Amino acid sequence: MQINNKHIQPKLTLVGAGPGDPDLLTIKGLKALADADVVLFDALANEELLKYASKQAELISVGKRAGKHSMKQEEINQLIVKKALQKGHVVRLKGGDPFIFGRGYEEIDYAEAFGVETAVVPGISSFYSVPELQKIPVTARGTNESFWVVTGTTASGELSKDIHHAAQSSATVIILMGMNKLAEIAHAFLVNGKSETPVAIIQNGSLPEEKAGYATVETMVDMAKDQNLANPAIIVIGEVVRLGRNSYLFEQLASLKKEN
């Protein structure tokens, strides 16, 4: 690839768009958008953020929602470099944080191989912010000492083996991209004696259409079906879920179980 104008300074900035609410974009991310010549944005990045880009900036949707990729990662990498060499500053707007299951490092690595300057603006990750908005702490003194953040589905489409390891611990387990593997996830925890462990499934976290369902490991699959919960959603498994704003639901579940 050749630079069309010797005065162009090719640059790539990865910007984490946060969990969905446009107000959760960082100030540094906003400044990067305002400076961009080209913005490549994901399906999980709120399009309201595009209003912060210059009116002269070229805006390109590259999709990248799980199972519905409008452009392959290799094509996105190539487009980043092409636009940087042609126009200058490319902002890659990615949902959540670019380095947390976002393939951001791959894009940085590819661009740098072509001599493109790179920078990263961290974003607020959905793995902790979405539970937090439900007042579920990822850690709480006296309840847990650590947490796991795991992808539910690997690149090959299989359930992550780390789910089985996480299910054996007392840690809070936060699972991203796991709704298509919900029954398998439940089974992994059931065989480790976690049938009564509380679960929260939060869909469209931080957005006006956010909805959350609460259950135990034993009932999580039926609950998700009854409440029509689907991607994009965060699954939180652990005793900290009892501390959330809907903790009273677990008391109701316990009462119903005794009655039955």
Domain that holds residue 64: 11-121
* Residue 46: closest CA among 232, 235, 212, 200: 232
Do residues 85 and 199 share a domain?
no
Do residues 114 and 132 share a domain?
no
Q: Give me the number of domains the chain comprises.
A: 2
pLDDT given for residue 179 in this prediction? 97
* Within-domain flag for 161: yes
Do residues 202 and 245 share a domain?
yes
Q: In what order do the strands lie in the sheet with 11-16?
A: 58-63, 38-42, 89-94, 11-16, 117-121
* Within-domain flag for 76: yes
Q: Distances in Å between the alpha carbon of 76 and those of 10, 12, 30, 71, 100?
A: 16, 12, 22, 7, 18
**C-alpha span between 205 and 131 (Å, rounded):** 8
37 noted as active-site residue: no
Catalytic one of 83, 87, 94, 177 = 177
Catalytic one of 64, 83, 87, 94 = 64
* Within-domain flag for 212: yes
Output the CA angle 213-215-217, nearest 5 degrees: 130
257 noted as active-site residue: no
Output the CA angle 188-190-196, nearest 5 degrees: 135
pLDDT given for residue 245 in this prediction? 72
Catalytic one of 11, 21, 37, 42 = 42
pLDDT given for residue 155 in this prediction? 84
Do residues 139 and 239 share a domain?
yes
**What global pTM score does this model have?**
0.90
**C-alpha span between 244 and 190 (Å, rounded):** 22
* End-of-domain residue from the set 101, 121, 141: 121
* End-of-domain residue from the set 103, 121, 139: 121
Q: Identify the CATH number of the domain in which residue 224 sits.
A: 3.30.950.10
Do residues 106 and 159 share a domain?
no
**C-alpha span between 93 and 149 (Å, rounded):** 22
Tens of pLDDT, residues 63-85: 866 555 568 999 999 999 999 99
* Residue 197: closest CA among 217, 179, 177, 183: 217
Output the CA angle 171-166-163, nearest 5 degrees: 145
Do residues 49 and 146 share a domain?
no
**C-alpha span between 202 and 212 (Å, rounded):** 4
Tens of pLDDT, residues 210-246: 999 999 999 999 999 999 999 999 999 999 999 987 7
Do residues 53 and 68 share a domain?
yes
Q: Identify the CATH number of the domain in which residue 21 sits.
A: 3.40.1010.10
Do residues 64 and 116 share a domain?
yes
Do residues 159 and 250 share a domain?
yes
Do residues 81 and 144 share a domain?
no
42 noted as active-site residue: yes
Confidence of residue 162 (pLDDT cuts 50, 70, 90): very high
